[in-house]
Amino acid sequence: MPLGTYVRSGLIGGVGPITNPLRFTARAELVGRFLLDPLYEHRWGPYVAGGLGVASHPYLLVVLGLEGPKWGGITPALEAGVGDGLRVGIALRRSQVKGWR
């Protein structure tokens, strides 16, 4: 959700298994992303993100990311950061922007 020209926000939730012993866990995160190319003038756009999360305990998160070119109605991104441990991931976001992405 846009909060201005440079900032986007999102609420993320997840459920998944943990081993040793096998059980399920859940988490929720409120994240804000600061886009370094908010007008999508370049094919690849870096961003920084941060927020708050809750799993079995509250935590802070900080992420560096790179959004790629739009593919159909989806914009892919690569992310790396820290937040309740090291995180590396791929994000697929719905695209509503015209241009490169």
Tracing tokens 């094919």 back to the chain, one arrives at: 43
Task: Give the separation between CA 63 and CA 32, rounded to whole angstroms.
Answer: 10
Q: Is the pLDDT of residue 70 over 50?
A: yes
Q: How confident is the model at residue 98 (pLDDT cuts 50, 70, 90)?
A: low
Task: Kindly report the average pLDDT of the chain as a whole number.
Answer: 89
Q: What is the pLDDT of residues 20-54, one digit of tens each?
A: 788 888 999 999 999 999 888 898 999 999 999 99
Omega within 30 of 0 (cis) for the link into 17: no
Residues of the domain holding 49? 7-94
The length of the chain, given as a count of residues: 101
pTM of the model: 0.80
Task: List the CATH number of the domain containing 41.
Answer: 2.20.200
> Does residue 100 sit within a domain?
no
If one counts the domains in the chain, the total is 1
Q: Does residue 80 contact residue 66 with C-beta atoms inside 8 Å?
A: no
